[in-house]
């Protein structure tokens, strides 16, 4: 099991809408993520920078690299594109974070 983290950017003023959409996350998206080996997925919001910090665990044999090809993931990205910084294909602009400390 590996823990990974990344940061994304929320457009100003959309914190509540972002939370609402995730409170109503589509069951088929949850299933797709779990089938790809994703678990224990959390996203935190930092208000002064509008940054979203995501942390998740993934199985050693995960298939996360295939998620951008998934129809439900593409649909979710389109659903979220109006409130986040995205690439032209609606994929969120995400920057991987490097672990510098860990305490169990």
In the chain, what are the domains? 2-97 (3.30.70.100)
Residue 73 to residues 1, 44, 55, 98: CA-CA distances in angstroms? 23, 20, 18, 25
Chain position carrying tokens 């994703």: 38
State pLDDT tens for residues 38-86: 999 999 999 999 999 999 999 999 999 999 999 999 999 999 999 999 9
Q: Which long-range contacts (CB under 8 A, 24 or more apart) does 27-31 make?
A: 28/72, 29/72, 29/73, 29/76
Residue 87 has pLDDT above 90, yes or no: yes
Check residue 104 and give its pLDDT. 84
Mean pLDDT of 23-40: 96
Residues with active-site annotation: 22
pTM: 0.88
């Amino acid at each position: 099991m590996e823990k990974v983290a990344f940061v994304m950017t929320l457009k100003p003023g959309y914190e509540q809408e972002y939370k609402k959409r995730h409170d109503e996350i589509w069951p088929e998206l949850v299933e797709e993520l779990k089938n790809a080996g994703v678990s224990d997925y959390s996203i935190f919001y930092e208000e002064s920078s509008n940054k979203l910090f995501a942390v998740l665990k993934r199985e050693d044999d995960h298939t996360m690299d295939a998620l951008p090809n998934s129809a439900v993931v593409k649909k979710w990205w389109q659903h979220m594109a109006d409130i986040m910084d995205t690439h032209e294909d609606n994929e969120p602009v995400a920057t991987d974070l490097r672990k510098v400390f860990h305490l169990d």
